Amino acid sequence: MKTAIVTGASGGIGGAIAAKLAEDGWQVAAVYNTGKDRAQRLRQSNPAIKTYQCDISDYDSVERLFSMVQADFGSMDGLVNCAGTAYSGLLQDMGREDIDRVVARDFTGTLYCCKFAAGEMVRKHRGVILNISSVWGLYGASCEAVYSACKGGVVTFTKALAKELGPAGIRVNCISPGVIKTKMLDCYTRRDLQALADETPLGTLGTPEDVALAARFLMSENSRFITGHNLSVDGGFAL
């Protein structure tokens, strides 16, 4: 049985991806930072899911995570980097801690996790990595400049890593969700959300399930000849 690590599993998108992979027969290491209760409910929903606490912005914490997963499952075949945070506000109003937090959780943490995953996967000459970016990483968003920059970096990093790991038989892809109904939207008013839905050609906001279905495909053998690709799951928002 294959094992996948899913970070940000206590969130809406990460939890949906973890559940979908478990349904498909993966053993899932569902990683959370502060959302222990939500992660525990996810674990209770499927015996193939085991939860782990990790601060992905901390290098040592990530190293311990991968060591624990290796010890518990004996293998590590897939990685989904879904953990992240948001900040809505003008760049000039952000403090140093705000900037550092967004960069660490939306970009640096993905690099750390990929670094440790790649070491294990190269040794076995197999594996698949999926990074979760954002439509703002492609086109940028006012009042989310640092978040947009980090997510844009994730897209470029995905393409570079796909070239680097391709000769070892490892695929690396990315999903850029559009406006998805999760807690990350709590900073928006109802009017704002309706405006975003109106801007989406399909006329509605997306759900975590929509992203999870795309992740299922990119993590499966059905996408065995796809690497370095960024898939927009946004209802046409970015058209």
Q: What is the pLDDT of residues 146-180, one digit of tens each?
A: 999 999 999 999 999 999 999 999 999 999 999 99
pLDDT at 218 over 90: yes
- pTM (two decimals): 0.95
Q: Tell whether 123 is covered by a domain.
A: yes
Rounded distance, CA 100 to CA 143, Å?
16
Q: Tell whether 143 is covered by a domain.
A: yes
Rounded distance, CA 239 to CA 226, Å?
22
Q: Which of 144, 121, 151 is nearest to 3 (CA)?
A: 121
Q: Tell whether 113 is covered by a domain.
A: yes
Is residue 56 within 8 A of residue 114, CB to CB? The reply is no
- Position 108 scores a pLDDT of 98
Is residue 174 within 8 A of residue 157, CB to CB? The reply is no
Q: Tell whether 239 is covered by a domain.
A: no
pLDDT at 29 over 80: yes
Is residue 81 within 8 A of residue 11, CB to CB? The reply is no
- Position 13 scores a pLDDT of 97
What secondary structure does DSSP assign to the chain, as a single string? Answer: --EEEETTTTSHHHHHHHHHHHHTT-EEEEEESS-HHHHHHHHHH-TTEEEEE--TTSHHHHHHHHHHHHHHHS---EEEE-------S-GGG--HHHHHHHHIIIIIHHHHHHHHHHHHHHHHT-EEEEEE--THHHH--TT-HHHHHHHHHHHHHHHHHHHHHGGGTEEEEEEEE-SB-SGGGTTS-HHHHHHHHHHSTTSS-B-HHHHHHHHHHHHSGGGTT--S-EEEESTTTT-
Side-chain half-sphere CA neighbours of 54 within 13 A: 33
Q: What is the CATH number of the domain that holds 132?
A: 3.40.50.720
The vertex-79 CA angle with 15 and 164, nearest 5°, equals: 150
Q: Write out the two tokens for 111.
A: 């690099």
Rounded mean pLDDT of 118-127?
A: 95
- Position 86 scores a pLDDT of 87
Q: Tell whether 119 is covered by a domain.
A: yes
Verify whether residue 147 is a known catalytic residue.
yes
Number of compact structural domains in the chain: 1
Q: Tell whether 102 is covered by a domain.
A: yes
For the segment 182-215, what is each residue's pLDDT rounded down to a tens digit?
877 777 788 988 998 999 999 999 999 999 999 9
| Cα four-point dihedral sign 123, 126, 132, 137 | positive
Rounded mean pLDDT of 21-30?
A: 97
- Position 136 scores a pLDDT of 94
Q: Tell whether 238 is covered by a domain.
A: no
Q: Largest Cα–Cα distance in the chain? A: 51
For the segment 90-120, what is each residue's pLDDT rounded down to a tens digit?
999 999 999 999 999 999 999 999 999 999 9
- Position 49 scores a pLDDT of 96
Q: Tell whether 78 is covered by a domain.
A: yes
Rounded mean pLDDT of 62-80?
A: 96
Catalytic residue among 52, 59, 147, 188: 147
Which residues form the domain of 29?
3-233
Rounded distance, CA 84 to CA 56, Å?
9
7: left (phi over 0), alpha (psi -120 to 50) or beta: beta
